[in-house]
Amino acid sequence: MKSNQCFIIFMWVLCSLTEDCMSPLGSKQTCTFKSNRFTEYANCFRYDQSALNILLLNEFQD
């Protein structure tokens, strides 16, 4: 388990050092919420959270 954690943190740090990884072209942090903010896509990008979610999915998906 520790090696998985180290790998994820290592890749996350590498991503943070690459501008196009953490902040891809066209991304914006502001959100456009519709009537239900929990079930509808708000067209926003949470930079570090999005990168971490992708790394976790790649590492732990079945």
**3-class secondary structure per residue, the chain:** CHHHHHHHHHHHHHHHCCHHHHCCCCCCCCCCCCCCCCCCCCCCCCHHHHHHHHHHHHHHCC
User: What's the rounded mean pLDDT across residues 36-54?
Assistant: 78
How would residue 6 be classed by pLDDT, with cut points 50, 70 and 90? very high
Q: What is the pTM of this model?
A: 0.62
Average confidence score pLDDT of the chain: 82
Q: What is the pLDDT of residue 5?
A: 87
